[in-house]
Amino acid sequence: MTDSDPETEHTTSSPEPVAGAPDVRFFLPQGPPLPPKRWQRRWKTGIRVGSVVVGAAFVGAAVFAVAQGVNASAHFTASGAVEVDCASRAKPFAPDLRQGAPVRIVDAKSGELYGSAKLDEFRKLGSGICLVGFQMPNVPVAGLYTVEIGDRYRTLASQAALQGGALLS
């Protein structure tokens, strides 16, 4: 049983050699490890330290970006406008609603003053309507605001309305 017939013996590890074909090997025998290049030996510590510094810089930049994003989402720029008479630049029958009047935005629940500005942006629309508006940066995010113009005018406004440029009546 020690004799085997080469024609009937089949192995799955390698295909049968073809007569006259060269012996093909896909893997070379492993040799000794290559010595590191001279620059690799000389700069090994510097490369490691530099990699740590660059990694720390990326982490610092990421933390700064997240902090800026959180701060930016906690404040917004409020804007609004009041329809006025084009000639006098004031609202008829409401002398406080005029160009140059002081505007204050207050938290509707606590009464905390969030900022102040003036009605100073005059615009005449193509339809003949005139608006006097304001912009107030860095208003803290809250649920509901009281917009006070002059001494007598007060109205409630939401954050979405003030972010989109509320038309106050």
Residue 17 reports pLDDT greater than 80: no
Q: Which CATH number fits domain 76-168: 3.30.1360, 3.40.50, 3.30.160, 2.60.40?
A: 2.60.40
Whole-structure pTM over 0.85, yes or no?
no
The whole-number pLDDT of residue 27 equals 79
The whole-number pLDDT of residue 55 equals 95
Q: What is the chain's mean pLDDT, rounded?
A: 83
The whole-number pLDDT of residue 38 equals 81
Model pLDDT for residues 35-59, shown as the tens digit of each residue: 778 877 788 888 899 999 999 999 9
Q: What span, in angstroms and rounded, lies between the C-alpha atoms of 79 and 162? A: 5
Q: Choose between 79 and 37: higher pLDDT.
A: 79
**77 CB-near residues (< 8 Å, 6+ apart):** 135, 136, 137, 138, 139, 163
How do beta strands 75-84 and 166-168 pair? parallel
Q: Choose between 12 and 56: higher pLDDT.
A: 56
Q: Choose between 144 and 14: higher pLDDT.
A: 144
Q: What span, in angstroms and rounded, lies between the C-alpha atoms of 101 and 82? A: 11
**121 CB-near residues (< 8 Å, 6+ apart):** 81, 131, 132, 133, 134, 135
Residue 10 reports pLDDT greater than 70: no
Model pLDDT for residues 99-149, shown as the tens digit of each residue: 889 999 998 888 889 989 998 888 888 888 899 999 998 888 888 999 998
Give the tokens for residue 39.
């620059």
The whole-number pLDDT of residue 5 equals 53
Half-sphere exposure for 139 (CA within 13 Å, toward CB): 29
Least confident of 3-7, 14-18, 42-46, 102-106: 3-7
Q: What span, in angstroms and rounded, lies between the C-alpha atoms of 50 and 158? A: 50
